[in-house]
Each structure stands twice: as structure tokens, then as C-alpha cells.
């Protein structure tokens, strides 16, 4: 299944806020939610919606998300928590978290167009898994810096997760550690996502 390229309003109205997909909040969401409260959802639908929420927020294909679930399942520790950590440490998500891009799709475009360096080397793979002590910088070209500055200027003032440090003057971000799950900031039950996939096999 390919990455979703349709109208984001439709997804937000059904799943709730998806900050990685868009920073806009469409009207009438509350009315839709009030109406949906009276609809009895099956357990399957509840698990499906949690999975879809995770997929659309991070901008993943179905195959990509399944791959991350399998990687998390083979590692030591709670699968749901490890899954979120894997997704949060993607380069496109790190850029979004630093405020260098307004959305994760926007961050993906920056990486694909070779504007971003990791530890001094250009990385053009959005799914690149960042590690503690990785340094994220911007290509030393005017166009690249203007794109990042525009995003930093328009980004809402929010507390930076404790696993990241940003130097906006130098256009530089630092990954301090693996993210703590409390900083994920997405209202989601990751255990239901894992359960969804476990029931598909």
C-alpha cells in the first residue's frame, strides 16, 4: 500500500489531530467527534484507527509500518514503546521535532532534496535512523538556510523534547539520547497497534 497523498482534512476529522501530517486544525472536527461518540465501534475498528493514526502521523506506507513493528517485536523491551522510539528517531521526524520543517512530509522533502547533513555528510534517506550524539546540520547554501529559517520563524513556540538540542543560529540540532516515550506527544495507544498486527498473522 502506498503512502497516503489524499486530503488531510478527511483523515484528521476521523482520527483526530495529526501534527506530523499538518499543523492546521480544520473546523467542524468537534461536531464530527460529538456525532461519532454515539457510534459503537468494534474492537477491530478501534485497533485499526490507532494503527492508521500512527501511520498517517509519521507518513508511512503500510509496508514500512509493518517492518517497524517486526523490528520492535524482535528487540528486548515493550514492543509498543520500542516502536514509537524507532519512528521518533527517523531523520524526517527529528527535523520536524527540531522545528526545521513544519510537517513530516515537509521534512522528508528537505532530506530528499539533499539539504540536510548528519555528522557532516549529506543524507538523502528520510528513514535514516538517528542515534545519540548525531549532529543534524543544513547544507551551507543560501537556499537551504532560507528554507530552514522560514520554518523556524513560523514554527509555534513549543518545548523541545529533552532528547534534542537546537542551535537556531547555526541551524544545528543535536540528538542527546533516545526519546523518552512521554515526549512523543501523540495521543495514541501503541499497544493497540501492536495488537492489531499480532491479530493479522
Q: Is the pLDDT of residue 23 over 50?
A: yes
Mean pLDDT score of the chain: 83
Q: 90-177 — its CATH code?
A: 3.10.290.10
The pLDDT assigned to 98 comes to: 94
pLDDT digits (tens, 9 = 90+) for 131-168: 999 999 999 999 999 999 999 998 766 778 889 999 99
Q: In the chain, helix, strand, coil percent, each to 5?
A: 50, 10, 40
Contacts of 165 (CB under 8 A, 6+ apart): 173, 174, 176
Strands 116-118, 121-122: pairing is antiparallel
From the options 3.30.365.10, 1.10.1050.10, 3.90.850.10, 3.20.20.70, give the CATH code of 8-86+187-198: 1.10.1050.10
Amino acid at each position: 500500500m502506498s503512502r497516503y497523498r489524499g486530503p488531510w482534512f478527511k483523515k484528521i476529522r476521523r482520527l483526530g489531530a495529526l501534527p506530523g501530517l499538518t499543523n492546521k486544525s480544520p473546523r467542524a472536527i468537534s461536531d464530527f467527534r460529538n456525532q461519532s461518540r454515539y457510534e459503537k465501534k468494534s474492537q477491530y475498528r478501534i485497533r485499526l484507527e490507532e494503527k492508521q493514526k500512527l501511520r498517517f502521523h509519521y507518513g508511512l506506507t503500510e509496508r514500512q509500518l509493518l517492518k517497524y513493528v517486526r523490528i520492535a517485536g524482535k528487540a528486548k523491551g515493550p514492543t509498543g514503546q520500542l516502536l514509537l522510539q524507532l519512528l521518533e528517531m527517523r531523520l524526517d521526524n527529528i527535523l520536524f521535532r527540531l522545528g526545521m520543517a513544519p510537517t513530516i512530509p515537509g521534512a522528508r522533502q528537505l532530506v530528499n532534496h539533499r539539504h540536510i547533513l548528519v555528522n557532516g555528510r549529506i543524507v538523502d534517506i528520510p528513514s535514516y535512523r538517528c542515534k545519540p550524539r548525531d549532529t543534524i546540520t543544513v547544507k551551507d547554501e543560501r537556499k537551504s538556510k532560507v528554507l530552514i529559517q522560514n520554518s523556524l520563524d513560523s514554527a509555534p513556540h513549543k518545548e523541545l523534547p529533552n532528547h534534542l538540542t537546537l542551535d537556531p543560529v547555526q541551524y544545528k540540532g543535536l540528538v542527546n539520547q533516545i526519546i523518552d516515550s512521554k515526549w512523543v506527544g501523540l495521543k495514541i495507544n501503541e499497544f493497540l497497534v501492536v495488537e492489531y498486527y499480532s491479530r493479522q498473522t
